[in-house]
Chain A
Amino acid sequence: MLAATTMATTHPSSCPSSQPSAPEPRLTLEGRLEDLAEVWPWIEALARHYSIPARTEYAIHLCLEEALSNVVRHGYTEQANQSIVIECASSGAKEMVFTIEDQAPPFDPLAYRHAGDGPALASIAELEPGGQGIRLMRKFADRVSWERLPNGNRLTLAFSIAS
């Protein structure tokens, strides 16, 4: 069973909830890989509610899956006693902004470079199978920023939803 829970928030910049049955603007996950399955239904609900285009919905899922699995696998090394909080806010009707906060050791994904940033690969043996995620985040999110928190990290991913 999934142990992830959703919690309401009264944060003033949270996604507007003027329409009925607005999805919760905050999702709290335990630091387990299997709990990431909670994220997709949440994104689907947000996409329906805010009429997010399918391509953007894909990009959001791609980037959140990558960012969250990095926290679970590398930040928390799959120990389940730490949580991850994802918050969604909208900036007008133009942008969806997701912030992901953890209590993991500092890790700035924007400072991380890997072999895939270099010249074209000569063979598939050179392709790092797990090293593509940060490259994907940079490509599919419109903005990515990272801040160190006193006791963790905050990664911000923004996606344009203007039609």
Chain B
Amino acid sequence: MQISTEEMPGGITRVALDGRMDIAGAAAVDLKMNVVAGSAQKLIIDMQKVEFLGSMGLRSIVLPARAVHSRGGKVVLLGPNEMVESVLKTSGIDSLLPIRRDLNDAIAALG
């Protein structure tokens, strides 16, 4: 599991996840996700290269997103594949964190 971050214009932070967010994958990104969530105000979690998302992986998204929301920030999920999106929707996260297919739409959703 790989994780990288990028600061974009407009005070947007993009964190890109790459790999399988199973138990081991979630553990591998948790620390960095929490660090990013500790300061980001507008956060794009780029899931285009996430091949698998399980319930531990969900937790690795929900907890940082909660931290950003608690400071009045915004979080958007970018480009999950069909099965990953289905997991997100089953969990109900999609009603709280917008899912966007396209980077420009994700930026727009951060207002």
A residues neighboring B (CB under 8 Å): 33-34, 36-37, 40, 55, 58-59, 61-62, 65-66, 69, 116, 120-121, 123-125, 127, 129-130, 132-133, 135-136, 139-140
Interface pair A65/B69, CB less than 8 Å apart: no
Measured CB to CB, the closest approach of chain B to A14, in angstroms, equals 26
Answer whether A40 and B91 are a contact pair too, CB < 8 Å, given A55-B83, A127-B62, A129-B63: no
Q: Is B16 an interface residue (CB 8 A)?
A: no
Number of residue pairs spanning A and B whose beta carbons lie under 8 angstroms apart: 76
In this complex, how many residues of chain B approach chain A with their Cβ under 8 Å: the count is: 26
Per-residue CB contact flags for chain B residues 75-111 toward chain A (1 = under 8 Å, else 0) read 0000000110001001111011100000000000000
Residues of B within 8 A of A (CB): 20, 22-24, 52, 54-56, 58-59, 62-63, 65-66, 69-70, 82-83, 87, 90-93, 95-97
Q: How far is the CA of A58 from the CA of B103 in the complex (A)?
A: 26
Task: Supply 6 A–B pairs (Cβ within 8 Å), ascending by A.
Answer: A55-B82, A120-B92, A124-B97, A127-B62, A132-B58, A136-B55
Q: Which of A34, A36, A55, A124 has the most CB of B within 10 A?
A: A124
A136 pairs with B90, CB closer than 8 A: yes
If the complex has contacts A125-B70, A129-B62, A132-B91, are A58 and B83 also in contact, measured as CB distance less than 8 A? Answer: yes
